[in-house]
Structure 1
């Protein structure tokens, strides 16, 4: 499983893959980038860590996302 991070930089909010400095996606707002990241990660098996503006992890999401949480086997 690959790990991705949404972080605030001097150039706005950026999506990066853990261990790689390359910026995969960028946006002016965190909310916008979360939507973009969801589309980008839709067909991947991944963990997305969404950070606060001071760098702390606010939330973690796993992909693919289950449309119906009741259908989850875990």
Structure 2
């Protein structure tokens, strides 16, 4: 991930989003992975950056989908 990319991650049963390279989370926390991913993906599209999903165990099997730049998904 590059600085500025959005990461959705899981810690202690709660989902968060953050901007890569920053320590603070972006917005609120989520109990539901799907909602956190939706918000993280929207933030990535708005910023025109990549989005990655991680769990406590490491990258999500679906992470490769979110590694694409949002512009690559359009069209």
Considering the TM-score relative to the shorter chain, is it more than 0.5?
yes
Q: What is the aligned residue count?
A: 67
Q: Which structure 2 segments of 5+ residues have no match?
A: none
**Structure that is richer in strand per residue:** 1
Q: Is the 8 A contact 2:15 2:31 kept in 1?
A: yes
Q: Is the 8 A contact 1:14 1:33 kept in 2?
A: yes
CA distance in 2, matches of 1:11, 1:28: 7
Among 23, 28, 45, the residue aligned to 1:42: 45
Q: Which structure 1 segments of 5+ residues have no match?
A: 69-74
Match of 1:40, SS state, is helix
Q: Which has the larger radius of gyration?
A: 1
Note if 1:63 corresponds to 2:70: yes
CA distance in 2, matches of 1:34, 1:41: 10
Cα deviations by residue, 1:38-74 (Å, 9 ceiling, x for unpaired)? 22222222111101341x1120422245333xxxxxx
1:19 match: 21
1:22: how far off?
0.8
- TM-score normalised by L of structure 1: 0.69
**Structure that is richer in helix per residue:** 2
